[in-house]
Amino acid sequence: MTGINLNKILKERGYKFTNQRQHVFDVVMENDGMHLNSQEIYELVREKHPEIGVATVYRTLALLEEMGLIYGVDFEDGFRRYEIVKNEEQHRHHHLLCIECGSIQEVEEDLLGSIEEKIYQNNRFKVINHRVKFYGYCENCQNK
Amino acid sequence: MTGINLNKILKERGYKFTNQRQHVFDVVMENDGMHLNSQEIYELVREKHPEIGVATVYRTLALLEEMGLIYGVDFEDGFRRYEIVKNEEQHRHHHLLCIECGSIQEVEEDLLGSIEEKIYQNNRFKVINHRVKFYGYCENCQNK
DNA sequence: CTCCATGCAAACACTTTGCAATCCG
DNA sequence: CGGATTGCAAAGTGTTTGCATGGAG
């Protein structure tokens, strides 16, 4: 069910297919929902493919992001974290960050449609995408 | 109308008042809405007070943020940017970022109240604060 | 007079870049 | 084969830290 043919996608865009690119993509795919940062991705790729260099990982992540296969999120913790872009997603989904335990949940989006309309009316600003993070207490941490 | 007595606030929290801290705070105050990053703040302080060191500026910004007088926003451009916290604000306000010209507008908040309720019902997550960024085209850039 | 705060430079952490070697097509 | 891609190490970037000096209370 991985379904995504990276080879094909790369070729279509005029890029070459390499094993390194596949390895990086695999790690991000396999860790869906983990919000790995670049270093973590580098280390995971390295476990299986110790010859890969940091630079390649960074370059590949940038390439995959540019191609729209993954995207970077910034949780303001000093790391750039990456997620797979799901085909169904129009907009990006949102995140719930627990300020007690640091856990990150994802929450489906399309809650903001009416707000974007309001923004267009008030500010004449045409929203294309948004990034929303909610900070608070997850279920577990509320019961302490 | 600057009104804020930094000296008093620092003392209350057990910190010492210094001119450097005042200078840094002044620059952030005077450039309300500019979303200055730390480097820019450092340079602006330096114009009037060339003896100040980078470290002091960073330490002061962190201190001011911890005291709730300013807060940092991350526009994913690699810089931490700071804003004055207005007393009236419960939550932080939102930003509209133009992906064409890079302009940043602010938009008042309290649009998300109903969403936070929905999140509590769906995810049992108690939202305390949120950060919202809308990406799109500002009025000017739509007319091109 | 006692620490806290400062300035400086060195250290850091993450990321990017230059370049020769390598691999894809 | 020829140009894109890689790996390495060096260079960048923004930020933080260690430490002696200086200043607030």
Over residues A31-88, the pLDDT tens digits come to 988 999 999 999 999 999 999 999 999 999 999 999 999 988 878 777 789 999 886 6
pLDDT tens sequence across B38-89: 999 999 999 999 999 999 999 999 999 999 999 888 887 778 899 998 876 6
Say which residue, A36 or B110, is predicted with more confidence: A36
Say which residue, B111 or A57, is predicted with more confidence: A57
- CATH hierarchy code of domain B6-84: 1.10.10.10
Mean pLDDT rounded to a whole number for chain A? 89
Domain with CATH 3.30.1490.190 in chain B: 94-142
Rounded to 5 degrees, φ, ψ at A114 are -65, -30
The confidence score (pLDDT) of residue B4 equals: 86
CA–CA separation, B104 and B133 (whole Å): 10
Q: Do A130 and B133 touch (CB under 8 A)?
A: yes
pLDDT at A98 exceeding the cut of 80: yes
The confidence score (pLDDT) of residue A132 equals: 87
Query: Strand D: which nucleotides have any atom within 7 A of a protein Cβ?
Result: 4-9, 13-18, 23-25
| Share above pLDDT 70 across residues of chain A, in percent, rounded to a whole number | 93
The confidence score (pLDDT) of residue B31 equals: 95
Of residues B105, B132, B135, nearest to A123 (C-beta): B105
What's the CATH class of domain B94-142? alpha beta
Domain with CATH 1.10.10.10 in chain B: 6-84
Residue of chain B minimizing CA distance to A117: B111
Contacts of B126 in chain A (CB under 8 A): 136-137, 142
The CA distances from residue A82 to A37, A79, A94, A129, B31, in Å, are 6, 10, 14, 17, 33
Residue B56 Cβ < 7 Å to strand D: no
pTM: 0.84
* Cβ neighbour number for residue B117 with a 10 Å cutoff: 11
Interface of A with B (CB under 8 A): 72, 74, 76, 96, 98-99, 105, 107, 111-112, 115-116, 118-119, 122-139, 142
pLDDT at A110 exceeding the cut of 70: no
| Share above pLDDT 90 across residues of chain B, in percent, rounded to a whole number | 58
E strand intervals along chain A: 36-37, 70-74, 80-84, 94-98, 104-107, 126-137
